[in-house]
Amino acid sequence: MIQDFFLELAAVIVLATLLGFLFKKLKQPILLAFIFTGIILGSSFLNVITYQEMLHVFSELGVAFLLFLVGINLDLRIFREIGKTSVITGLGQIVFTTLVGFGIATFLGFAFIESLYIAIALTFSSTIIIVKLLSDKKELNSLYGKISIGFLLVQDFVAIVALVLISSFSFSTDLTTQLSQFVFSLVVLFLLFFIASKFLVKKVFDSLSNSQELLFLGAISWCFAFSAVAIFLGFSKEIGAFLAGVSIASLPYTYEVLGKLKYLRDFFIVLFFVVLGSNLVFAASDIIFAPAIILSLFVLVGNPIIVFILMAKLGYKGRTSFLSSLTVAQISEFSLILIFLGAKVGHVSSEVVSIITLVAVTTISASTYLIIYNNNLYDRLSGFLPFLRNKRFFEDSLHMAEDKKYPFVCLGFGDTGKRIFPDGTMGEKEVLVIDFDPRALKEAGKLDFHTLYGDVSDLETIDFILKVRPKVVISTVMNVDSNIVLAKKMLRKNRGVKLIVLAHDVHDARKLCAEGIEFVLVPSIITADKVKTILQDIKAGRNFELNWFKATQFDYNSKHYPK
């Protein structure tokens, strides 16, 4: 049995790798390659996957690690500020999508109970898929990324409530008893989270920090323990893993945990998408295609419109509202579970199951492209849809820029940006810091820098930079496409400006130099040159560079180093 499963797993990994390579060559989202691996090897086609339960366990590990690392990355101070937005947007989208979805399903001729199931299924978006895509794009810490994760988690809570209600029909349990148990479990879960975060987690991880192996195992154990508690209390493992990550987010060991677990996450999450694809069963019937297309269009267009309107009313500008809205343009695994459970208790027909399955495949595939190319889509649409460029209220609180000229503009205030302007030697009032991470802007504001919420790929941001007529623009954002857009606009409109840009590698550096950027730096090459100088100094008996290296390392490891 073990040998057969190993061969089956080998087939899955090899095909996922081959399709992933093919999709990358074709410049298509690799995530879709993993889903199609499951479809090809699943029961709809080759029927190779027979050990569904074992693969499912592996895929669940990927989901747990994914949400655990998201929780670690979360800054609770920022989450408090966007929590209201997440709750209002999440609940508002569920209400309006359910109402409109119910109307569409009724119009298509479905019975009342089936229309209700369809409407509710269309409200849930996939937290796992969105987190994976935003993580790949390095936009989890952006304002729209944090808001999106917030209202997707709200959706997950509502989905759990819906499953509890349907389970009460399945097991003939009293509804009041089920809801009472749910509320009690919710209180217990958050009480345990508070106690662990306040009194337990620091002591546990301090005791493990002297051993890298124990720190690694301790992080996994913490993730599993919280997930197990959440499952025991009737919640999903995603919520437990997420809370586990949040509880250790403030510890000084988070970067080590992130570095050690990200490869486990990447491997196991591939199996999640393979299992998701293998579970999609298609019925060969012309009856299902027309409803599936109509419902898919509603999810792809209607859901984003609902979220955009809600966020605009809450005071967010057009870009943030638009990018956030695209994250709800698909249905989730909860939607499929809901429909499958509805079929089990006899509330929906097999045709409805097939329709929702087809909607899942269509919307997951299409929304993957929407999110990957969301910035390009916004730039194209904002040209002839003026309301997408509206200024809003919330983001004004992140805006401390004055209407004047700034000699220096720093794009991105992460570790690199903090070290470029560490002590005010350039004059804080002469430096404008631009970032799309609210946490980074608040840190810059505390250091008396003038700040602007913006993205280097946003044409509005580039227009503002042109307006302040800087002498030097430093981009620490290592996104080659965004920096090319910046260079084309800046060098055409302000030929006197000096651009200093960071690149991931030599290949990207060559692209940037071809656009006329005078200063392109590759951090890995600079590091190699510095280490070479240190080695030469050590060999020659000189200590200056070595002392500098030790001081830098001490500063980096210091608890005062900005996280």
Torsion angles phi and psi, residue 142, rounded to 5: -70, 165
Segment 444-492, tens digit of pLDDT = 877 878 888 777 766 667 777 888 888 888 888 887 777 888 888 887 7
User: What tokens were used for 263?
Assistant: 């490869």
DSSP element (H, E) containing 85: helix 76-107
Mean residue pLDDT across the chain: 79
List the end-to-end C-alpha distance of the chain, in Å, as a whole number: 48
Give the pLDDT confidence score for residue 393 in this predicted structure.
47
Give the pLDDT confidence score for residue 386 in this predicted structure.
67
- Other beta carbons within 10 angstroms of residue 504's beta carbon come to 13
pTM here is 0.68
Residue 551 has pLDDT above 90, yes or no: no
> Which residue shows structure tokens 């208790």?
345
At 513, the pLDDT band (50, 70, 90 cuts) reads confident
Segment 379-405, tens digit of pLDDT = 788 767 666 666 554 455 555 666 678
Give the pLDDT confidence score for residue 304 in this predicted structure.
93
Give the pLDDT confidence score for residue 325 in this predicted structure.
92
Tell me the percentage of the chain whose pLDDT exceeds 70.
83
User: What tokens were used for 324?
Assistant: 């956030």
Which among 170, 89, 526 has a CA at the least distance from the CA of 342? Answer: 170
At 424, the pLDDT band (50, 70, 90 cuts) reads low
Top pLDDT among 519 and 460 is at 519
Give the pLDDT confidence score for residue 423 in this predicted structure.
57
The upper half-sphere exposure of residue 9, i.e. CA atoms within 13 Å in the direction of its Cβ, equals 18
Torsion angles phi and psi, residue 279, rounded to 5: -85, -5
Give the pLDDT confidence score for residue 157 in this predicted structure.
79
Lowest-pLDDT choice from 6-15, 74-83, 441-450: 74-83
Top pLDDT among 66 and 123 is at 123
Lowest-pLDDT choice from 37-46, 155-164, 536-545: 536-545
Give the pLDDT confidence score for residue 183 in this predicted structure.
79
Strand partners, 500: 474, 519
Sheet with 498-502, strands from edge to edge, namely 450-453, 431-435, 408-411, 472-475, 498-502, 519-521
Q: Cα(168)–Cα(173) distance, rounded to whole angstroms? A: 5
Top pLDDT among 73 and 507 is at 507
Segment 30-67, tens digit of pLDDT = 878 888 888 888 877 777 887 777 888 888 888 788 88
Give the pLDDT confidence score for residue 175 in this predicted structure.
60
| Domains defined along the chain, listed by start | 2-388 (1.20.1530.20), 399-521 (3.40.50.720)
Give the pLDDT confidence score for residue 556 in this predicted structure.
39
Residue 138 has pLDDT above 70, yes or no: yes
Give the pLDDT confidence score for residue 550 in this predicted structure.
47
C-alpha dihedral (49, 51, 56, 57), degrees to nearest 10: -150
Give the pLDDT confidence score for residue 306 in this predicted structure.
93
Which among 236, 209, 208, 214 has a CA at the least distance from the CA of 152? Answer: 236
Q: Cα(34)–Cα(462) distance, rounded to whole angstroms? A: 37
DSSP E strands, 468-516? 472-475, 498-502
Give the pLDDT confidence score for residue 301 in this predicted structure.
93
Give the pLDDT confidence score for residue 544 in this predicted structure.
53
Give the pLDDT confidence score for residue 437 in this predicted structure.
73
Q: Is 299 exposed, middle or buried (0-12, 13-18, 19+ CB in 10 A)?
A: buried
User: What tokens were used for 157?
Assistant: 């809570």
Give the pLDDT confidence score for residue 563 in this predicted structure.
37
Give the pLDDT confidence score for residue 49 in this predicted structure.
80
Query: What is the full DSSP assignment across 255-317?
Result: HHHHHHHHHHHHHHHHHHHHHHHHT------TTTHHHHHHHHHIIIIIHHHHHHHHHHHTT--
Which among 539, 532, 495, 550 has a CA at the least distance from the CA of 517? Answer: 495
Segment 194-217, tens digit of pLDDT = 888 888 888 888 888 788 788 888
Residue 553 has pLDDT above 50, yes or no: no
Give the pLDDT confidence score for residue 557 in this predicted structure.
40
Percentages helix, strand, coil for the chain (3-state, rounded to 5) are 70, 5, 25
Give the pLDDT confidence score for residue 387 in this predicted structure.
64
Top pLDDT among 429 and 96 is at 96
Amino acid at 108: L
Give the pLDDT confidence score for residue 123 in this predicted structure.
92
- SS3 state at 501: strand
User: With contact defined as beta carbons under 8 Å apart, do 89 and 323 qualify?
Assistant: no
Segment 336-391, tens digit of pLDDT = 878 877 887 788 887 888 888 889 888 988 998 899 888 888 878 876 766 666 65
User: What tokens were used for 396?
Assistant: 């004004």
Segment 215-258, tens digit of pLDDT = 888 889 999 988 888 888 877 777 788 888 888 877 777 777 87
